[in-house]
């Protein structure tokens, strides 16, 4: 094919083209800056457009994330295979320990049932679960959130607790028609009322984008040790009480705050259960916008 | 020269390539890589695309496409709306205006150029997200992301160049390194 060579006319028109280009760029920069400023004033404003884009991308991400997850798991499996011998020994030990714990749990469960019967205790309403698959692990450098392939049409509601096999993972922050965004407990904006240890001290689990969220607002005199269990307290009505979250870990030397190692493993997030307890809590007013459609 | 409708269609499809490549890159950044460890940090893939096409074929990538791709990245990533649109347009402007300095230079120079552009982009992104969220964010994650982004650029360049070779040639500014 013939290649057009820049002629005299074209060369002469270059400065004009450049200045037109410059103003296009400047225009788009201004537009983006405007969008950011409006978003800063009202963070909920773009929620619908945001989730519309996510809904559009869901089928694609859903399809492509299967092989990616499989590939990732394959490599993890290879690593595990390498460490299988040591792992087996550790697992056998853990299994023995857990069997003892099971016996304890069973006896406690029956004792609990007997005591509840004596007290006419009214149990919590059973939770409704919706299971979804993680299709997007976004957030990257600034946020800790994941996208799942279930949304409004599947009955997902904003504020629902997201749990993985082992414990609380986060909460539903945005709901689209067929996708939702889950804010992980480690995210900067995550604040969860929790109870710590056997003394059931109240605290707030505050994410700071690190893998181990902080325990904030602990009472001055505390009797908390590394290894203590952290569960949701149910205060504020955003979460059901008693969901396991993680364990307290020893703080780094230069830190005053205690940190929590969550139970969920961010490395192997694949399926997520969203619990709907019929609690609306702090997210009620925002929820209406989407649920009322 | 007579051109059939098919040829026209073919050219049109090839002309759309840079934009489509950017969309694919946005998706690549979203996939749940179990490998990346506990931090779920992925390279800033879409920036690599904007840099490459801004350097080689800005004629096939209108600024509006870059802008929309930026908004799409914002929506999927969950970052404040407008941040990536701003950063990508800024980098695109910068790169397409510096094109002549990179033409015919060894790849190492282009790579260094990318490292500089990515530094500006990530710094800008960190500032903008911190500004919108109203708190100075810890810079460690973005620094890790920066290193990943610069490291992966040569790999992605090979893929971009393959796509680039299928495109109809542009004017004198068109080059493949």
Q: How many domains does chain B have?
A: 1
**pLDDT surpasses 80 at A9:** no
Residue predicted with more confidence, A222 or A273 = A273
Q: What is the pLDDT of residues A121-133, one digit of tens each?
A: 776 666 778 899 8
For B4, the 3-state DSSP assignment is: coil
Q: Does a structural domain hold residue B53? A: yes
**pLDDT surpasses 80 at B87:** yes
- Do B82 and A35 lie within an 8 Å CB cutoff? yes
pLDDT on residue B35: 47
pLDDT on residue B117: 96
Q: What residue of A is the nearest CA neighbor of B65?
A: A28
- Do A32 and B80 lie within an 8 Å CB cutoff? no
ipTM: 0.84
Q: Which of A25, A34, A137 minimises the CB distance to B31?
A: A137
**pLDDT surpasses 60 at A154:** yes
Stretch B50-79: mean pLDDT, rounded? 91
- Do B141 and A141 lie within an 8 Å CB cutoff? yes
Contacts of A42 in chain B (CB under 8 A): none
Q: Does a structural domain hold residue B159? A: yes
Which CATH number describes the domain made up of A128-291? 2.40.10.340
From A117-121, A172-176, A177-181, A212-216, the region with the lowest mean pLDDT? A117-121
pLDDT on residue A278: 60
**pLDDT surpasses 90 at A160:** no
- Do B29 and A138 lie within an 8 Å CB cutoff? yes
Q: How far is A270 from chain B (nearest CA, A)?
A: 9
- Do A75 and B135 lie within an 8 Å CB cutoff? no
- What is the band of B8 on the pLDDT scale with cuts at 50, 70, 90? confident
pLDDT on residue A26: 92
- What is the band of A8 on the pLDDT scale with cuts at 50, 70, 90? low
Q: pTM for the full model? A: 0.78
Q: What is the pLDDT of residues B103-135, one digit of tens each?
A: 888 999 999 999 999 999 999 999 999 999 888
Task: Check CB contact of A142 with chain B, cutoff 8 Å.
Answer: yes
Q: Does a structural domain hold residue B64? A: yes
Contacts of A268 in chain B (CB under 8 A): 34
Q: What is the pLDDT of residues A15-64, one digit of tens each?
A: 556 777 788 899 999 999 999 999 888 878 888 888 888 898 888 888 88
Residue predicted with more confidence, A22 or B172 = A22
Q: What is the pLDDT of residues A65-117, one digit of tens each?
A: 777 777 777 777 787 788 888 888 888 998 998 988 888 888 888 888 888 88
Window 1-30 of A: residues touching B by CB (8 A cutoff) are 1-6, 21-22, 24-25, 28-29
Residue predicted with more confidence, B63 or B37 = B63
Q: What is the pLDDT of residues A254-277, one digit of tens each?
A: 667 788 998 887 666 778 888 876
pLDDT on residue B48: 96
pLDDT on residue A1: 44
Range of the domain at B62: 18-29+41-165
Q: What residue of B is the nearest CA neighbor of A140?
A: B41
Window 108-127 of B: residues touching A by CB (8 A cutoff) are 122, 125-126
Q: Which of B38, B44, B70 minimises the CB distance to A211?
A: B38
* Residues A158 and A194 sit within 8 Å (Cβ to Cβ): no
Q: Does a structural domain hold residue B4? A: no
Q: Does a structural domain hold residue B174? A: no
pLDDT on residue A2: 47
Window 34-93 of B: residues touching A by CB (8 A cutoff) are 34-42, 44, 63-64, 66-67, 70-72, 74-83, 85-86, 89-90, 92-93
Winning range, highest mean pLDDT, from A174-183, A242-251, A253-262, A283-292: A174-183
- Taken in order A150, A152, A158, A159, the sign of the CA dihedral is negative
pLDDT on residue A293: 31
- Do B142 and A34 lie within an 8 Å CB cutoff? no
- What is the band of A286 on the pLDDT scale with cuts at 50, 70, 90? very low
From A46-55, B33-42, B53-62, B151-160, the region with the lowest mean pLDDT? B33-42
């Amino acid at each position: 094919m013939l290649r057009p060579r820049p002629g005299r006319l074209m060369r002469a028109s270059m400065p004009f083209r450049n200045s037109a280009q410059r103003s296009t760029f400047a225009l788009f920069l201004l537009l983006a800056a405007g969008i950011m400023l409006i978003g800063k004033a009202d963070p909920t404003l773009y929620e619908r457009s945001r989730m519309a884009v996510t809904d559009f991308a869901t089928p694609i991400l859903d399809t492509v994330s299967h092989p990616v997850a499989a590939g990732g798991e394959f490599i993890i499996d290879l690593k595990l295979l390498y460490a299988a011998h040591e792992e087996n020994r550790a697992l056998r030990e853990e299994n023995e320990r857990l069997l003892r714990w099971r016996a304890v749990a069973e006896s406690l469960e029956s004792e609990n049932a007997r005591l509840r019967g004596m007290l006419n205790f009214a149990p919590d309403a059973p939770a409704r679960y919706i299971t979804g698959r993680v299709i997007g692990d976004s957030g990257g450098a600034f946020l800790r959130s994941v996208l799942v392939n279930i949304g409004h049409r599947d009955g997902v509601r904003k504020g629902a607790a997201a749990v993985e096999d082992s414990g609380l993972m986060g909460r539903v922050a945005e709901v689209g028609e067929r996708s939702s965004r889950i804010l992980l407990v480690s995210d900067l904006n995550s604040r969860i009322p929790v109870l710590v240890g056997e003394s059931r001290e109240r605290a707030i689990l505050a994410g700071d984008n690190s893998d181990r969220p902080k325990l904030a607002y602990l009472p001055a005199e505390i009797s908390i040790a590394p290894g203590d269990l952290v569960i949701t307290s149910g205060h504020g009505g955003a979460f059901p009480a008693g969901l396991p979250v993680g364990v307290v870990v020893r703080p780094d030397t230069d830190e005053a705050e205690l940190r929590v190692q969550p139970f969920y493993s961010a490395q192997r997030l694949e399926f997520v259960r969203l619990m709907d307890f019929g609690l609306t809590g702090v997210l009620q007013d925002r929820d209406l916008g989407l649920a009322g459609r | 020269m007579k051109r059939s409708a098919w040829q026209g269609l073919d050219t049109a499809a090839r002309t759309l390539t840079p934009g489509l490549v950017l969309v694919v890159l946005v998706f690549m950044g979203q996939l749940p890589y179990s490998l990346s460890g506990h931090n779920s940090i992925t390279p800033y893939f879409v920036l690599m695309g904007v840099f490459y096409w801004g350097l080689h074929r800005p004629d096939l990538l209108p600024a509006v496409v870059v802008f929309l791709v930026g908004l799409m990245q914002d929506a999927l990533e969950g970052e404040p709306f407008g941040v990536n649109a701003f950063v990508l347009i800024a980098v695109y402007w910068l790169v397409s205006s510096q094109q002549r300095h990179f033409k015919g230079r060894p790849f190492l120079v282009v790579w260094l150029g990318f490292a500089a552009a990515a530094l500006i982009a990530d710094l800008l992104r960190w500032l903008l997200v911190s500004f919108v969220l109203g708190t100075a964010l810890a810079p460690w994650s973005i620094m890790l992301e920066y290193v990943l982004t610069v490291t992966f650029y040569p790999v992605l360049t090979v893929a971009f160049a393959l796509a680039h070779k299928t495109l109809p040639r542009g004017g004198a500014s068109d080059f493949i390194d």
